[in-house]
Amino acid sequence: MNVRMLVLAAGGTGGHMFPAQALAEEMISSGWQVKLSTDRRGARYTNNFPSDVDVSIIKSATFSGASIFGKVLVPIIIFYGVLQSVLWFKSNKPDCVVGFGGYPSIPAVLAALILRIPTILHEQNGVLGRVNRLFAKRVDFVAFGILPENFTTKNAGYIGNPVRNSILKFKDSPYIPPGDYPINILVIGGSQGARIMADIVPAALSLLSEKDKKNLQVTHQARPEDKERVVKLYSEGNIKAEVSSFFDDVARRISEAQLVISRSGASSIADIATIGRPSILVPLKSALRDEQSANALSMTSVNSAVSIIEDDFTVERLTVCVSKFLSSPKNAKAMAAAALKRSSKNSVTRLSELIINLVIQKKDGSKPTSLPIKKGTLE
């Protein structure tokens, strides 16, 4: 019996890598061979991938932030990456390629289209990224992690964002609303932290009443360059805090939190929803398509979160929000329950079924079972 092979194309940040890791875990457990095509930045996230995943660093590049000379080199670098991928695909004959967006996915996805290998794109956000938009009408299927507002196309569907086993392990953790006992607040700014969280959160929490502050235990993910001043700010505010540039047990920390203050990246939202925790979300203002606002809306629409745009994310505004939250345990419990309504705990299964059905249809010529997702069309 031949072992099926899946190629995952992802890189850059955790937002692309984490759902790829979740799919790798699912497909390997189903007996598939999995290969990851990524860049050097993406390779930093592979330590937690299953050990059976074969990782290849493929050349790719982006025009964003490049110098004039660098922009001249971009097409050459991408061409070389595509050539690498084509040669490897011809030798190893993968059954399917799944791209997770971002420029590091370009070589593998383009090589798959050239060789007519079944190809799926997974878009973590409710708005197509530039790379996924480039390929959306050329691939076999586009799977959305967050249901887009304008959901209109025959080769697209909503499946949710796959979450890793480390997150799923805590999906049934009971929620303890705020009260007169230790209260955990988790502050995360995406996979790489966020300066605005360092600028606002410690100062805002320091303005809480002494009654509220006495029970606070803050866990704050900060950029390395912000860590020292964040530690100092919490100390000056008389708040117990653990500050680090990276936590390898984020799932446990989410499960222990009464409140999460976070950016609204798709993977962060999927993790928060799966475990079921109230949140204050701050969409990234510089996001080109404002996808983080769309992501936040998926949570606020069910009253599981409060969303504050960057221009309104001030020390005073956050102090008021947190104070109100701490004084309303009944509302906090309702928010936690509502977050579970946006849970992605079955998404990885739906994505794996989509892959298997597509391969059956394309390779074996037999009729696939019905797609386990809602279908529509892209504009």
State which H helix or E strand residue 312 sits in. none
With contact defined as beta carbons under 8 Å apart, do 138 and 113 qualify? yes
When pLDDT is cut at 50, 70 and 90, the band that residue 53 belongs to is very high
Q: What is the pLDDT of residues 300-346, one digit of tens each?
A: 999 999 999 999 999 999 999 999 999 999 999 999 999 998 887 78
pLDDT in tens, 337-370: 999 988 877 899 999 999 999 998 887 665 444 4
Cβ–Cβ under 8 Å, residues 345 and 168: yes
Distances in Å between the Cα of 76 and the Cα atoms of 69, 72, 73, 275, 314 are 12, 8, 5, 44, 45
Q: Which domains can be identified in the chain, with CATH numbers?
A: 5-162+346-376 (3.40.50.2000), 168-342 (3.40.50.2000)
User: Measured between alpha carbons, how far is residue 217 from residues 28, 104, 120, 172 in Å?
Assistant: 38, 38, 43, 23
Q: What is the reported pLDDT for 147? A: 78
Residue type, 118: P
Using one digit for the tens of pLDDT, what is the confidence trace for 19-33?
999 999 999 999 999
pTM value is 0.88
Specify whether the CB–CB gap between 30 and 46 falls below 8 A: no
Using DSSP's 3-state secondary structure scheme, residue 114 falls into: helix
Q: Are 56 and 38 in contact (CB under 8 A)?
A: yes
pLDDT confidence of residue 151:
57
Q: Which of 6-15, 183-192, 363-372 has the highest mean pLDDT?
A: 6-15
pLDDT at 70: 59
CA nearest 339: which of 305, 291, 307, 306? 305
Q: How far apart are CA 253 and CA 173, in angstroms?
A: 11
CA separation for the pair 219, 318 (Å, rounded) = 17
Give, for 54, the enclosing helix (H) or strand (E).
strand 54-57
Whole-number Å distance between alpha carbons of 135 and 119: 10
pLDDT exceeds cutoff 60 at 261: yes
107/92 Cα distance (integer angstroms): 16
Indicate the DSSP class of residue 310.
Answer: G
Res. 148: pLDDT tops 70: yes
In this prediction, residue 1 carries a pLDDT of 55
CA distance 84 to 60: 11
Kindly tell me if the per-residue pLDDT of 49 is higher than 90: yes
